[in-house]
Amino acid sequence: MINSLVFPRPSEAFKFASTRFDGSRKSKYSKPRMELTLTQPDDWHLHLRDGDLLQAVAPHSAKHFGKAIIMPNLKPPITTTAAAVAYRESILKALPADSNFTPLMTLYLTDKTSPNEIKLARRSGVVFAVKLYPAGATTNSQDGVTDLFGKCLPVLEEMVEENMPLLVHGEVTDPDVDVFDREKVFIDTVLQPLIQRLPRLKVVMEHITTMDAVRFVESGEEGFLAATVTPQHLILNRNALFQGGLQPHNYCLPVLKRETHRQAIVSAVTSGSKRFFLGTDSAPHEKQRKECSCGCAGIFNAPVALSLYAKVFEEAGALDKLEAFTSFNGPDFYGLPRNTAKVKLTKASWKVPDSLSFSFGNIVPMFAGETLEWQPCVGEKAEMLNEVQEVGANKG
């Protein structure tokens, strides 16, 4: 739902065809203030790390999202159901006492994963997907798959039987393939053959970055092929890596692509298609591990993700389609219930911190030091904010 908190002049209504205003709240001193009320979103691709880093970043995701698919690329990776259960307990302990955040666990697929492990995962009630990392493709992927069809086919067939989704980091790791072409080549050489061989396997192509990925996802059968999309790949192109000098905090994998690819992704997610849903790929690293001679890939966007998604949809004139992308398409694909809590996004400027300080060091969030135009608030705080704004408007 979209509405306005203050409406000073009836003529303004013609500027916001999709926006509902309350004409009884007006003040000659007030400017229109837009507010979105959405079903609380979920994050279908999230890195929470472990240890001190987990303790530091988990509350930021729990503040805005109801549940999240948790990536398993730790050291050592989460390759068994028992390890996933233990990791889930660690995450729950890192959450604020009043948090209702639900971590949805995943297994890290390896050449040695067994079909029986898939059965155990499904029966556990806490594992909801299996993650495919081509060996060497990204952070902590050295234990990933080296031969998908030669070594993992029995596991994939069991995943079809158990209705267990496969989450794919869609890049080849062949050093002869240009880094900007790795997604397209992966689609052509791995994903297309996989879908043809196992058409009933549910597949999520994670953090898509190219128009090639958009076309591939749109060509598949709805309900069996989908994609997550990050805020960075919706807002930034590869120029953001180099403007004003090398920008390590804009470096992620898959790497940012050309502007034409960014535009294609924006068009896809703002079209209303059910095949695309929110997955932040929020991937925190300590500042010193980003700003060094061999900086880590990953962008910590949890504190700003909802604000940035709203910005993208507003600029596309598609705010009416934001809720489906953030809150409906993901749980519907996974066959999970939609959240009942609400989140409010108010059109109000706020400044992103330059960094977040912890006992072990600092983490720099995406868009550090910049001003964003949408401010999120969830649950009881959202209701309190709404009441305060209503009182202020009535007094005006």
| Active-site pick, 60, 64, 67, 169 | 169
CA 128 to CA 154: how far, in whole Å? Answer: 18
H, E, C per residue of 59-124: HHHHHHCCEEEECCCCCCCCCCHHHHHHHHHHHHHHCCCCCCCEEEEEEECCCCCCHHHHHHHHHH
CA 89 to CA 179: how far, in whole Å? Answer: 37
Catalytic residue at 233? no
Catalytic residue at 207? yes
Catalytic residue at 64? no
Catalytic residue at 212? no
| Active-site pick, 207, 285, 287, 290 | 207
**Sign of the four-CA dihedral 111, 114, 117, 122:** positive
Residue 140 gets the label, from left (phi > 0), alpha (psi -120 to 50) or beta, of left
| Active-site pick, 43, 47, 261, 287 | 47
Catalytic residue at 285? no
| Active-site pick, 42, 45, 290, 344 | 45
Within the chain, where are the H helices?
51-64, 81-94, 115-124, 148-151, 153-162, 182-186, 192-197, 211-219, 231-235, 259-269, 287-290, 305-315, 322-323, 329-334, 379-395
CA 24 to CA 291: how far, in whole Å? Answer: 52
| Active-site pick, 63, 131, 287, 290 | 131
Residue with tokens 């966007």: 301
Tally of residues, the chain: 396
Distance of CA 343 to the CA centre of its chain: 16
- Assigned token pair, 21: 């205003």
CA 17 to CA 2: how far, in whole Å? Answer: 11
H, E, C per residue of 157-185: HHHHHHCCCEEECCCCCCCCCCHHHHHHH
Catalytic residue at 45? yes
Q: Which of 281, 21, 32 is nearest to 138 (CA)?
A: 281
| Active-site pick, 281, 285, 287, 290 | 281
The catalytic site residues sit at 45, 47, 131, 169, 207, 281
